[in-house]
Amino acid sequence: MRRFDAESQWAIKRFLVKLTAIGVYAVAIIQRPAVESILILAYVNVLCSMLFAVLRREPCNGSTLNHWDEAAIFTALCALAHAVRAAIG
d(CA 79, CA 28): 22
**In 22-61, which ranges are E strands?**
none
pLDDT value for 82? 86
> Measured between alpha carbons, how far is 58 from 36 in angstroms, rounded to an integer?
30
User: What pLDDT is attached to residue 34?
Assistant: 72
Question: How much is the pLDDT for 1?
Answer: 59
d(CA 69, CA 85): 24
pTM above 0.85, yes or no: no
Q: At what angle do helices 67-88 and 6-24 cross, to 10 degrees?
A: 30
Predicted confidence (pLDDT) per residue in 48-87, tens digit: 999 999 999 999 988 889 999 999 999 998 898 888 888 9
Q: How many CB atoms lie within 10 A of CB 83?
A: 10
